[in-house]
């Protein structure tokens, strides 16, 4: 179910991956997968309801990391 996306959102060309949770790092009750050579963040897209304070932080971080925003 986590790999399935609503058909009307296919224009977003989003990729979803399933990973072994044992390979993740837990922080504040959430799980994160460390990026490696075979998993790189290329682009960030935020939704219209995204918090402006967080948006500013992520925009600045993306610029430093040379990630398309």
Tokens of 17: 């991956």
- Check residue 28 and give its pLDDT: 92
Average pLDDT over residues 11-40: 83
3-state secondary structure of 41: coil
Residue 15 near residue 43, CB atoms below 8 Å: no
Query: Cα(36)–Cα(32) distance, rounded to whole angstroms?
Result: 13
Task: Indicate the pLDDT class of residue 27, thresholds 50, 70 and 90.
Answer: very high
Query: Cα(58)–Cα(51) distance, rounded to whole angstroms?
Result: 11
Its pTM stands at 0.50
- Check residue 2 and give its pLDDT: 59
> Is the confidence at residue 1, as pLDDT, over 60?
no
């Amino acid at each position: 179910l986590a790999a399935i996306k609503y058909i009307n959102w296919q224009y977003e060309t989003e990729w979803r991956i399933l990973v072994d949770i044992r390979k993740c790092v837990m922080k504040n009750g959430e799980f994160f997968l460390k990026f490696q050579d075979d998993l790189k963040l290329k682009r960030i897209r935020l939704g219209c309801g995204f918090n402006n304070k967080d948006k500013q932080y992520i925009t600045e971080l993306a610029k430093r990391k040379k990630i398309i925003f």
